[in-house]
Chains A and B, each alone.
Chain A
Amino acid sequence: MNKTIVTIHDLKRDFQMGGETVHALNGISFKVQAGEFITIMGSSGSGKTTLLNVMGCLDQPTSGEYLLDGTDVSSLSRDELAHLRNRKLGFVFQSYNLLPRTSAVENVELPLLYNRDISNKERRERAIHALKEVKLADRMDHTPNQLSGGQQQRVAIARALINEPVMILADEATGNLDSRTSYEIMVLMQELNVKKGKTIVFVTHEPDIASFSSRTISLRDGRIQSDTVNDHPRSAKQVLAAMPVTSNEIKNEPV
């Protein structure tokens, strides 16, 4: 599998703050091959979120080139960008961003509501399937406030999967979770990456989390500081198994 899904060349993103210009991204170049599991590292303010927003077509670069799955993003209109996000991308946020008082299955369905090619019946089937993939088949009708943080994030991952995106983008997806739950999320991510061949770009500032990925790009002041391939990523499943189990956690987090 050696298909290039992302080509980024000399990407810049400037913000005007009062009279000053902040160079959040200052000449970034890299490529992403299909099936890669990339973590983007860097201290706070290094430009990770800005990069992910541009990659997710939520933001347009000030200059530079961005090709997503063969499409030159910089020339697209607002609606075309929305279409691209809907068909090719899946987002996972730090704060889950599930709709309150809305069942898990309906939350997962959401992206397909904006896809006219999918019938109501197929939408529901695919939502159920996606929830099974994140092992929440038994929590389908639960609303976010009836789910733990880890479960909510898994619902969000199912939502990111449902449109079969070419790339999943996660911004500090484990940032609100304790370490055990974080590992469970990473187990899921590795599974999606290895078994389903999903391309994942995962922003984190924890080196621990980065060790589960196949490649790590480190940012500093809007530039790439290092871009290293990890030939032997750790297995999140093994790390999780080695952790001491408390009865409380078993109750909260059935996997």
Chain B
Amino acid sequence: MNLFSLLRIAYKALERNKLRAFLTMLGIIIGVAAVIVMVAIGQGSKQSIHDQLANMGSNMITVLPASNIAGGVRIAGSSFQTLTAKDITALQRDARFISEFSPVVTTRGQSINGALNWPTSMVGVAPEYLDIRKLTIKSGRSFTLRDELSSAKVCLIGQTVIDNLFPNGDNPVGRVIRFNRIPFQIIGVLTTKGFNAFGQDQDDILIAPISTVQNRIMATIYYQYIYASAANEQTTDSATAELTKILRGSHRLKPADENDFTVRTQQELINTLGATTSLLTILLTVIAGISLVIGGIGIMNIMYVSVTERTREIGLRLSIGARGKDILLQFLTEAILISITGGIIGVLLGLLVAKTVTLTLHWPTVVSESSVLLSFMVCALTGIFFGYYPAQKASGLNPIDALHYE
């Protein structure tokens, strides 16, 4: 019997019981669609986290003012006071691989414009910060070294703060607002950045010169972070090594001493988050895979019913010269046809659902070719695996008994 005849017979058998064939397929359809959607969501969030981290500057290096582990106990970085102006001076003098750097302090407080107020964060930085974080000015200007030297009461404003303090759409540039009672003149507006991978609103921010924030608001000489940026992604490692060396020098650490600061690169963060989302993807896929197996059991069940129902047909086919192998192939083809048709519908449904999820819930989804291919192959294998035993049963029937089966 040739393949065409096999397919035609299988198709006719399914056509005879359309509803039943469809219900059997449903398990496979749901299974495949689930695999595709789950993987698409997993991949999508992974991709978007990666994109956003890259958008924050993939060659960014962060220095925290404490060693990761202090005597075996992790302590919040900001409670250490080790980063100071001395470090910045050392960097200005010795850095070669580090292209830009900026000290950072942040504080939360209430911003006020007349009767309107809004709780937000103020970040004190050097002008280079904007470059490192890939921030740009939409209108107005950035602050200068002179503003920094004079601890000028000027700031850059993010869109979320504008929305809350200037709801009428007034141009905020040149206007004076108060932050923790201190008046600040707005000199520039930041280009909108949206939410970051951790769900933080990157536009809910005021940026001022580091000295202004340190002297006028926080009254501290310490930095919470130093942000630096390697010339490019390839030199991140050299830049990290250099940064460590310079800071150890300026902190006068002996060779045996541990670092009293921590250096983190964006790349590490990308890798860590990537691993987490990979794990999530695997979990989701396992769940989806289980539903595929359930679909397969549905096929097995219905194939057993089909073999029993068509015992006389099997007897007839055997008596006119079908070999056991022919009968086996016939029922196997039927099972595979169910699973593959279910697989195709499942793939289409999966694509549709993934698209819908993106459009309605705004979750990023990435449908990977490998997930489509894999679930499709699993489908075919499911058909073969779960269709084999019923088909085997059919092929082993005794023609006489089968012919007289009631």
Chain B's interface: helix, strand, loop or mixed, by majority?
Answer: helix
Give A75-110 interface residues, CB cut-off 8 Å to B: 78-79, 82-83, 85-87, 91, 93, 97, 99, 101-102, 110
Check B350 for interface membership: any CB of A closer than 8 A: no
Q: Is B73 positioned at the interface, with any CB of A under 8 Å from its CB?
A: no
Question: Of the candidates B2, B319, B403, which one forms a contact with A85 in the assembled complex, judged by CB atoms under 8 Å apart?
Answer: B319
Chain B residue with the shortest CB-CB distance to A115: B321
Contact B403 A97 (CB under 8 A): yes
Cβ-based interface call for A47 (8 A) = no
Chain A residues within 8 Å of B399, by CB: 58
Partner of B313, one of A99, A115, A120: A99
- With both beta carbons as reference points, the residue of chain A lying nearest to B313 in the complex is identified as A99
- The answer to whether the Cβ of B324 comes within 8 Å of any Cβ in the partner chain is yes
- In the complex, how many angstroms separate the beta carbon of B262 from the nearest chain A beta carbon? 74
- In the complex, are the beta carbons of B403 and A110 less than 8 A apart? no
B145 at the interface (CB under 8 A from A): no
Contact with A along B74-105 (1 / 0, CB 8 A): 00000000000000000000000000000000
Q: How far is the CA of A102 from the CA of B8 in the complex (A)?
A: 12
Q: Are B400 and A99 in contact (CB under 8 A)?
A: no
A58-B399, A59-B400, A97-B403 known; A83 vs B313 contact (CB < 8 Å): no
- Does A97 lie within 8 Å of B321, measured CB to CB? no
A82 & B312 in contact (Cβ 8 Å cutoff): no
Q: Which residues of A contact B316 (CB under 8 A)?
A: 97, 99, 110
The docked-state distance in angstroms from the alpha carbon of A178 to that of B4 is 40
Do A82 and B323 touch (CB < 8 A)?
yes
B248 within 8 A of A: no
B326 on interface, CB distance cutoff 8 Å:
yes
Within 36-62 of A, Cβ neighbours of B (below 8 Å) are at 53, 56, 58-59
> Size class of A's contact patch?
20 to 34
Q: Is the CB of B400 within 8 A of A101?
A: no
Q: Is A30 on the interface with B (CB-CB < 8 A)? A: no
Measured in the bound complex, the distance between the Cα atoms of B399 and A113 in whole Å is: 18
CA of A79 to CA of B315, assembled, Å: 14
- Indicate the member of A93, A113, A159 with the most B CB atoms within 10 Å: A113
In the bound complex, residues from chain B placing their C-beta under 8 Å from that of A58 are 319, 399-400
Nearest chain B residue, comparing its CB with the CB of A119: B2
Return the CB mask of B33-55 against A: 1 if under 8 Å, else 0: 00000000000000000000000
Chain B residues with CB under 8 A of A97: 312, 315-316, 403
Contact of A78 with B400 at beta-carbon distance under 8 Å, contacts A99-B316, A113-B5, A114-B1 already known: no
For this complex, into which size category does the number of interface residues on chain B fall? 20 to 34
C-beta contact mask, A109-137 vs B, less than 8 Å → 1, else 0?
01101111000100000000000000000
- List chain B residues, Cβ under 8 A from A87: 321
Find out whether the CB atom of A85 lies under 8 angstroms from the CB atom of B324. Answer: no
The 8 Å CB contact of A82, one of B4, B5, B313, B318, is: B318
- For B324, the chain A residues whose CB sits under 8 A away are 78-79, 82
Given the known A-B contacts A97-B312, A114-B1, are A83 and B323 also in contact in the complex, defined by CB atoms under 8 Å?
yes
* Residue pair B321, A85 in contact (C-beta under 8 Å): yes
Task: Give which listed residue, B1, B321, B403, contacts A93 with CB less than 8 A.
Answer: B403
Query: Which chain A residues lie closer than 8 Å to B400 at the CB level?
Result: 53, 58-59
- A114 contacts across to B, CB distance below 8 A: 1, 317, 320-323, 326
In angstroms, Cα B325 to Cα A83, docked, is 12
Chain B residues within 8 Å of A116, by CB: 1-2
Contacts of B12 in A (CB 8 A): 101-102
Verify if B362 is at the interface (C-beta below 8 Å from A): no
Instruction: Kindly name the residue among B312, B316, B320 whose own CB sees the greatest number of chain A CB atoms within 10 A.
Output: B320
Residues A155-174 near B (CB distance < 8 A): 159, 163
* B313/A111 in contact, CB under 8 A: no
Q: Tell me if A82 and B403 are in contact (CB < 8 A).
A: no
The smallest beta-carbon distance between B58 and chain A, in angstroms, is 62
B310 to nearest A CB, angstroms?
9
- Note all chain B residues with C-beta closer than 8 A to A159: 320
B16 closest partner in A (C-beta): A101
Whether B320 pairs with A110 at a CB distance below 8 angstroms is: yes
Chain B residues, Cβ within 8 Å of A59: 400
For A93, the chain B residues whose CB sits under 8 A away are 403
Partner of A113 from B1, B312, B319, B325 at Cβ < 8 Å? B1
Query: Nearest chain A CB to B329's CB is how many angstroms away?
Result: 11
Closest to B12 in A: A102
Measured CB to CB, the nearest residue on chain A to B310 is A99
The proximity string for B residues 1-18 relative to A, scoring 1 for CB distances below 8 Å and 0 otherwise, is 110110000001000100
The answer to whether A111 and B312 touch across the interface, beta carbons within 8 angstroms, is no
Q: Are A86 and B321 in contact (CB under 8 A)?
A: yes
Q: A158 to chain B: closest CB distance in Å?
A: 12
Closest to A160 in B: B320
Take A99-B313, A110-B317 as given contacts and tell me if A78 and B323 are in contact as well, using a CB distance cutoff of 8 Å: yes
CA gap between A102 and B310 in the complex, in Å: 14
Rounded to whole angstroms, the CA-CA distance of A123 and B2 in the bound complex is: 13
Q: Which of B317, B319, B323 interacts with A79 by CB under 8 Å?
A: B323
Contacts of A56 in B (CB 8 A): 319
Minimum CB–CB distance from B404 to chain A (whole Å) comes to 9
Report B-chain residues with C-beta under 8 Å of the C-beta of A85. Answer: 319-321
Interface string of B313-345 (1 = CB under 8 A from A): 101111111111110000000000000000000
Closest residue on chain A to residue B15 by CB atoms: A101
B residues less than 8 Å from A163 (CB atoms): 321
Interface CB pairs A-B, < 8 A, 13: A58-B399, A79-B323, A82-B322, A85-B319, A91-B319, A97-B315, A102-B12, A114-B1, A114-B321, A114-B322, A120-B4, A159-B320, A163-B321
Known interface pairs A93-B403, A114-B1; 20 further A-B residue pairs with C-beta atoms within 8 A, sorted by A's residue number: A53-B400, A58-B400, A79-B324, A82-B321, A82-B324, A83-B323, A85-B320, A85-B321, A91-B320, A97-B315, A97-B316, A97-B403, A99-B313, A110-B316, A111-B320, A114-B317, A114-B320, A120-B4, A159-B320, A163-B321
Across chains A and B, which 8 residue pairs bring their CB atoms closest together, nearest first?
A: A86-B321, A111-B320, A82-B323, A114-B321, A85-B321, A97-B316, A79-B323, A58-B399
